[in-house]
Structure 1
Amino acid sequence: MVPVDVHLIAVRDGEEGREVLLSRRAGDVYAAGHWHFPSGHVDGPGEDVVTALVREAREETGLVVDPDDVRAAVVVHHRAPGGSARVGFFFEVRRWTGMPRIMEPQLCDGMGWFPFAALPEPMVGYCRAGLDAYRADAGVALHFQEPGDPIGHDPGADRLRLVPAPGSAGTASEGAPRV
């Protein structure tokens, strides 16, 4: 079974345009020191992806999100450099209660709002692929990294493929917009 995870794209209007909430991973975790969306795994077959997102938002950021305010952004099928695969559901949220704060200091040592035009580095490649696909209005994207690719976003290794929606020009392998 391929693991399923959820990613919170919390968006607000800032002084320099739209901003997104990111956290920096810390401790003995995958991609420590890299920026990432608040995210997590679906907890078993009894939890759906929206419920998982609402739970993860509260656990990681203290934000209380109403499920009715969750909007589907993009689904990314990802393969890591080591070959493991997963499916990530990225959700946009523009309304919540509370102020974001670090709730799990053993897993996160930074959190902040960043303009889309000034994202921090290093950023987890899979997370950046989801953000780029979201910004391109893709409903589905593939992000298949190759052995030897870094965990962090590498603009020189273009691994993101956007899957066109019905009625769009092109195919997933040619003619699709690239980010």
Structure 2
Amino acid sequence: MSGTQRHTEPLDVHLIALRDGPAGPEVLLSRRAGDVYAAGCWHLVNGHLDGPWEDMVTALVRETREEAGVVDPTDVRAAVTVHHRSPAGGARIGMFFEVRRWNGTPQVMEPHVCDAMGWFPLDALPEPIVAYCRAGLDAYRAGAQMAGVDAAPRLRAADRDRRGPAHRGGRVLRHVGLGYRMSATVLMPSRRGATIPIQERGWARASTSQMTW
């Protein structure tokens, strides 16, 4: 990189808390509420690092305690990395961690931003669900280590050119209901990535039926 500021992206941590259910593994989800991104959608317990002094596992433990009342998750295992590009053009990295043992009983601790919490079969997730959350869980179920969720409506010409010839033809993103239709690429360790169409319900837009970049 020459003469420009180095690009950075926010880092999220996501809790894949699992328990054995009558029909197979179940995952803990919370429903977002209030004046927040993706209100009304289900999501994993998640959050951000408070600063450069906090590592990812410490942030996961803190966010889990703050949001679900569960303290000191043990046997934290890195599961999936998701790169999410939003319709607004921003991007972020989500680190998903599997936890199968903890202390306490999960419950809603922040009712102003969460109005429900429950266990759901890993192969029958509720709707609506935040798209990059689903992408991470789909990758986890598939045994993948990484997933890319692309919902950016457009790039500046210079940025688009830097992405290379494969991306210069443009992609149409159709506005559907509460958000954008987009795709998630799940990267398997032993074969090329498989692209899965998904719908992002967290980004509401009142105009423009489709966008191209």
User: Normalised by the shorter chain, which TM-score bucket?
Assistant: 0.7 to 0.9
> Which of 38, 47, 57 is residue 50 of structure 1 equivalent to?
57
For the residues of structure 2 that align with 1:138 and 1:44, how far apart are their CA atoms?
A: 29
SS in 1 for 2:112: coil
Q: Which stretches in structure 2 are left out of the alignment for 5+ residues? A: 1-7, 154-173, 197-213
Partner residue in 2 for 1:61: 68
Partner residue in 1 for 2:34: 27
SS in 2 for 1:50: helix
For the residues of structure 2 that align with 1:69 and 1:178, how far apart are their CA atoms?
A: 31
Displacement of 1:16 in angstroms is 1.5
TM-score of the aligned structures, taking structure 1 as reference length: 0.87
Q: Aligned letter for 2:186?
A: L
For the residues of structure 2 that align with 1:151 and 1:139, how far apart are their CA atoms?
A: 30
Q: Aligned letter for 1:30?
A: Y
Displacement of 1:21 in angstroms is 0.2
For the residues of structure 2 that align with 1:23 and 1:36, how far apart are their CA atoms?
A: 5
Q: Aligned letter for 1:49?
A: M
For the residues of structure 1 that align with 2:134 and 2:119, how far apart are their CA atoms?
A: 15
Partner residue in 2 for 1:164: 188
> Which of 4, 12, 15 is residue 11 of structure 2 equivalent to?
4
> Which of 6, 11, 24 is residue 17 of structure 1 equivalent to?
24
Q: Aligned letter for 2:28?
A: L
Q: 1:36 to 1:15 in 2, by over 3 A?
A: same
- If each structure's strand is expressed as a fraction of its own residues, which one has the higher value? 2
Q: 1:80 to 1:100 in 2, by over 3 A?
A: same
Displacement of 1:164 in angstroms is 3.5
For the residues of structure 1 that align with 2:133 and 2:177, how far apart are their CA atoms?
A: 10
May I ask how many residue pairs the two structures share in their alignment?
169
**Which has the bigger relative contact order, CA under 8 A and spacing at least 6?**
1
